[in-house]
Amino acid sequence: MPYRIEFTSAAARDISKLTEDVQQRLIAKIDALAHEPRPIGVQKLQGRTNRYRIRVGDYRIIYEIQDQILVVLIVRIGHRREVYRG
């Protein structure tokens, strides 16, 4: 059963600021998370419960997996030099 993908308002704002070609690459990777929320290459972030990151070129998708309700919550999206701040 696939997971439902949800975005925080910050993540929706982050992705809307990117160019269309980058958005398409990121959305393809996000859509794949619905079927496999822990794909090969995923990294669990330290200091946060259930928070993970995947790489898409120079961009990072930070997300949380809520297994009990089958939700992948996209928390932040951004360039690797900026996404971990704040």
pLDDT in tens, the chain (86 residues): 899 999 999 999 999 999 999 999 999 999 999 999 999 999 999 887 789 999 999 999 999 999 999 999 999 999 998 887 76
Q: Give residues with Cβ within 8 angstroms of 41, minimum separation 6.
A: 54, 55
Give me the pLDDT at residue 50, please: 87
Both tokens assigned to 79: 């360039």
The reply to whether 86 falls in a domain is: no
In a domain, 65, yes or no: yes
> What pLDDT score does 16 carry?
96
Q: Which structural domain range is residue 32 located in? A: 4-79
Residue 70 domain-assigned (yes or no): yes
In a domain, 85, yes or no: no
pLDDT confidence of residue 75: 95
| Site of tokens 């949380």 | 64
The pLDDT value recorded for residue 86 is: 61
Per the structure, the count of domains in the chain is 1
Residue 52 lies in a domain: yes
13 sits in which H/E element: helix 9-16
Instruction: Determine the pLDDT at residue 84.
Output: 75
CATH code (residue 35): 3.30.2310.20
Q: Is residue 47 part of a domain?
A: yes
